[in-house]
A and B are shown apart, each in its own frame.
Chain A
Amino acid sequence: MTNSEYPEDILRSLEDYNINIQDFMPGHGNGAKLLLDFNKIKGLEQVDGVILKGREIENGIVADIIIKEGTKIEDPVHLCFGVNKETGVQEIFPRIIAEDNTEVTLQAHCSFPNANGLIHKMFGHFYVGKNCKFAYNETHYHGERSGAIVAPVAYIYIGEGSIFENNFNLTKGTPGKVKIMIDIYAMKNSVIRSTIRAFGKSKNDSIRIRDSVFLEGENARSIIKMKAAARDGGEVLMYGITEGNAPKCNGHVECNEIVLGKGSICRARPFIRAIDPTSSVSHEASLGRFPQKWLDELQAKGLTEEEATDILIEAMLRET
């Protein structure tokens, strides 16, 4: 498959996130890949140790991804869920299993550059076995018209001794209406790092994200970082939830949200719970503007307050 056989505007949106287009094109680059054009599977490639299957359904696809036991792959598994239509419904049902002792990164990209009433839904189940290193990076681009309605849900089980990293980025373009729910269940000695970044840029942007970690196994540890900005009437609501339901577990929720311009709203609702005297769960949240000292430091380099704020937002939302 060549670039010209795939909608150009979806590919361009990948470039905005500094993602190499070739990595997503079957027949090019390395790594397993699944490429969607609306609800059609346009490409599917497997590599040794990775089973990747897709099946088209009425309004979307069911995708099964299995990382076989002991498989350690350097190249990410690429998943591209692109839609260049203005309207329609795309429903994705991924079922992802990483067997014991695997190491893998999944790079998912959801691009809806022309969305104007388009609905994207995902209902994902992740099972990560014992002693795995599993990273899931998801970047979104919803065009410039605040016209997408996006509602992904993910249930994620992280097995004993595994490390799970989740990075969700919705920082380019205008998000539209976004409602995301992620539930992560962490077993004994597992480590969860989840970072969410979102930027609402107009009064038609409403972002609600609920990121939950349930520390169910002894000595499970987690950190949720939620970073957001709302500009020109945009609205962001972040729920950061951590429950320490086992002995010696340790969790932290951190939420930083910046409000820019009148009418913009940022809200943070951390919810933390501990039910064992040996567990520790904490949260911190800051909303509003950046600390004056940070602004002073940048202004002392000759930047105006507005320029300093832009630099700080860029840093806060910078993908790692």
Chain B
Amino acid sequence: MDSCLPLLELKDIIIPTLDKKQIILNQTSFGVEEGSIHAIIGPNGSGKSTLAYTIMGLGNYKPSQGSIIFDGIDITNLNITERANLGITLAWQEPARIEGLSIQRYISLGIKNKTNINEKILEALQIVNLEPEKYINRCIDESLSGGERKRIELAAAIAMRPRLILLDEPDSGLDMIVIEDFLNIFNKIKALDMTILLITHREDIGMVADYGTLIWRGEHLLTDIFPKVMVKYCARAGLKEFCKRTLFDENGECPAFDRDYIDRIFREEGRE
């Protein structure tokens, strides 16, 4: 990664359980470069969502050690509202459905500059490929499908124009056609100069990322360009064929590293 200061930096973070008796995420340090898509990957239960909630500042997720630096400011002790006002937001894996709260109102909540607010709301809906006239007056309630609700969540995050969006498992519960569309949306967000920290347990979703961080059973294993992180993940999981199929082109080449790289990493992990 570049040597310039990252937008977000985690320094020796340890995240314990609420009762402090166990450690969810151990001694983690990495940076997220501004303007990038940075994926956090790892199997279910490895502590990825916990990390996202800790960065957002949710009440029950506090590091027992280490610090979180955002744009040069130590935000470790700031609350969720203060962090949001600095330019961080989170799109939830299962966003709430709230009867009576219109999509228009919901998206408007995070828009600080209310000038031309309707145009901003419409634009956000268009970015996530929802027709504004069909959705603007509906509520974020049970009448929306899972995919629609996730798009609304993304639209609300985009409308805020934050500097960093934490996307917690945006792919969960979606079919492949929809996922393809979501990957395009992530690129649109990146083009708007927003940084994405993408939490996913699906390696193929992470392929849209510039950088990656691998978390395995509460341990931070690697932060690097995404293909290298992907190889490490596959080596841990013993998925060599999948790894080659995903990373190599039809000529058996991967621009990120030479052919021997995968074999070497798999050897290191004892997965010949």
Interface residues of A (CB under 8 A from B): 291-294, 296-305, 311-312, 314-318, 320
Contacts and interface: CB of A to CB of B under 8 A. Distances in A.
B51 interface: no
B259 interface: no
Main secondary structure of the interface of A (DSSP, over half): helix
A315 B101 contact: yes
Contacts of B81: 299, 302-305
A297 B112 contact: no
Interface string B95-113: 1101111000100011010
A303 B96 contact: no
B85 A302 contact: yes
Contact of B84 (A293, A301, A311, A318): A301
B56 interface: yes
Given A292-B59, A296-B58, A296-B80, A301 B109 contact: yes
A315 B100 contact: yes
Contacts of A294: 96, 98
B30 interface: no
Contact of B110 (A292, A301, A304): A301
A34 B245 CA distance: 75
Contact of A293 (B96, B101, B109, B160): B96
B98 A300 contact: no
A320 B102 CA distance: 11
Contacts of A317: 100
A318 B110 CA distance: 20
Contact of A299 (B84, B98, B101, B156): B84
A316 B109 contact: no
Contacts, number: 60
B84 A302 contact: yes
Interface residues of B, number: 25
B96 A297 contact: yes
Nearest to A294: B96
Given A299-B80, A300-B56, A301-B110, A311 B85 contact: no
A316 B80 contact: no
Nearest to B101: A315
B90 interface: yes
Nearest to B88: A300
Nearest to B110: A301
B36 interface: no
B98 A301 contact: no
Nearest to A293: B96
A315 B90 contact: no
Q: Which of B58, B100, B156, B160 is most buried by chain A, counting CB atoms within 10 A of its CB?
A: B100
A268 to B, nearest CB: 17
Contacts of B110: 301-302
Nearest to A305: B81
Given A296-B80, A300-B89, A300-B90, A311 B99 contact: no
A320 B56 CA distance: 34
A292 B58 CA distance: 10
B92 interface: yes
Contacts of B92: 293, 297
For the complex of A and B, 8 pairs with smallest distance between CB atoms: A301-B110, A315-B100, A315-B101, A318-B100, A302-B84, A299-B80, A301-B109, A300-B90
A291 B109 contact: no
A226 B80 CA distance: 31
B99 A300 contact: no
A228 to B, nearest CB: 13
Given A302-B81, A315-B101, 18 more contacts: A292-B59, A293-B96, A296-B58, A296-B59, A297-B92, A297-B95, A299-B79, A301-B110, A302-B112, A302-B160, A303-B81, A303-B84, A314-B100, A315-B98, A315-B139, A316-B100, A318-B100, A318-B101
Contact of B156 (A292, A301, A311, A314): A301
Contacts of B101: 311-312, 315, 318
B172 to A, nearest CB: 16
Contact of B96 (A291, A314, A316): A291
B58 to A, nearest CB: 6
Nearest to A318: B100
